[in-house]
Structure 1
Amino acid sequence: MDRLSVMWERFSLSDAEGSSFVVQDSMEEGEFFVATRFYTRRVLNMEAIARTFKMLWRTRKGFEVRDMGNHRVLFVFLDRADVDHVILGEPWAFDKHLVALKEVEKHADIRNLVFDHTNMWIQIHDVPFGLSWKAAKDIISVAGKVDESIQEEEKFEGSNFLRFRVAVDVSKPLCRGRKIVLGNGKESWVSFKYERLPNLCYWCGKLTHMDRECSIWTKRKGPLLETEQQFGSWLRATTPNLARKTVVRVASFEKEGNGVGDQSTVKTPGG
């Protein structure tokens, strides 16, 4: 059934109904809005949501939670820095289910917003030795749009993986990896792993529902076996410790004016 807010276009309006009122109220100073879509079928409890994200976000000036219906929730912040912190911290989850975010202006029609993307850190594993960042970025591009603004210090070069910030389309299955062809013509496979990955469907690979809600499950007449699942917990990645160096680059050694005959002494245990 169409909502009245849409049906009015078909109505024959009276003079009173058709007299437009111009809304002129201004945004309160320091109010910022983030609309969210909770990808769970459970009834949402605003107090539980407030408690959960209070602990997760630890905002400087707090926020307000408003139930907008249809599993959409509006968060009202009082500090621009808090909004930036929340947006940059994606992905977020509630009860292990994805919460998609979108910053909006005041009076936005939240009921009709499309929440089809979330930002995630994706690790590329089993990469060929010496793979460049540019080549790795081109490989990971099949998983979504790569964030080009990530600073060098936020990247992490592990012993066998690279990581990128990617805007993932949640209406599509997660990308599990990509086939590549090496310079010698040999085919290989690189695997994608996702940091802080919420619940996902192991049948179709989407973040928007669980296994028992998947059309593959509901339309199948016979039993489904776990061995038939195309996705699994192996897509989850451990978030790396960015402070721990796993690759160290050493500059060239140059003697500094102590004479040709001067030699450095290296002490060894017991020496």
Structure 2
Amino acid sequence: MPAHTLDANLTNKGKKRLALCIVGKVLTSKLVKKDIFIDVMNKVWRVSGGVDIEPIKGNVFAFYFSNEEDKMLVLRGGPWSFDRAIIVFDEPTGTGDVSNLKFNSIDFWVQIHNLPLICLNEEIGISLGSLIGEVRDYDPSVTVDGSGRYL
């Protein structure tokens, strides 16, 4: 069969769609019921432009957003879970080959409690946080609740 070149407009449309896509994997040994998962995630996220959720394979799903704001709202709003299983996201690149996605990291907010006053600063907060993983962000406010002070 002869090789064919895709129309540039079709390729550009695919690139735009891929830029608004994230792929998620529900980390559980049980097979997720696709219809229920899609229904629940649409209700939980309630993004302004909506999201198209397409099952890929097993517990892996593609999420196509209509705008960057909705995509970032979901990525920043996590961690997300379904039926007591964490959902790990990855952003496809290049042609969007899902087999290249790793699903090997997730962001969590961490609170560090019972620090002496001398340790309530950004440098020590980042240093302590880096002991358990990569520190992506830091909240500079010191919070006090019933359990004491924490960063």
TM-score in terms of structure 2 length: 0.81
CA gap of 1:44–1:107, structure 2 versus 1, over 3 A, is farther
Amino acid across the alignment from 1:89: G
Q: State the 1:105 CA deviation.
A: 4.3
RMSD of Structure 2 on Structure 1 (CA): 2.3
Q: Is the 8 A contact 2:49 2:67 kept in 1?
A: yes
Partner of 2:28: 40
Partner of 1:122: 110
CA gap of 1:70–1:29, structure 2 versus 1, over 3 A, is closer
Amino acid across the alignment from 1:58: R
CA gap of 1:156–1:128, structure 2 versus 1, over 3 A, is closer
Larger radius of gyration: 1
Aligned length: 142
C-alpha distance in 1 between matches for 2:27 and 2:135: 23
Structure number having the greater helix percentage: 2
Partner of 2:5: 22
Mapping of residues 14-163 of structure 1, within 5 Å: 16=1, 19-23=2-6, 24=8, 25=10, 26-27=12-13, 31=17, 32-105=20-93, 107-131=95-119, 132-148=121-137, 155=141, 157-158=143-144, 159-162=148-151
C-alpha distance in 1 between matches for 2:16 and 2:68: 7
C-alpha distance in 2 between matches for 1:45 and 1:106: 29
Structure 2 residue runs without a partner (length 5+): none
Structure 1 residue runs without a partner (length 5+): 1-15, 163-271
Q: Is the 8 A contact 1:38 1:94 kept in 2?
A: yes
Q: State the 1:114 CA deviation.
A: 0.4
Q: State the 1:29 CA deviation.
A: 9.1
SS of the residue corresponding to residue 107 of structure 2 reads strand
Q: State the 1:151 CA deviation.
A: 6.3
Q: Is the 8 A contact 1:50 1:65 kept in 2?
A: yes
SS of the residue corresponding to residue 78 of structure 2 reads coil
Amino acid across the alignment from 2:150: F
TM-score in terms of structure 1 length: 0.48
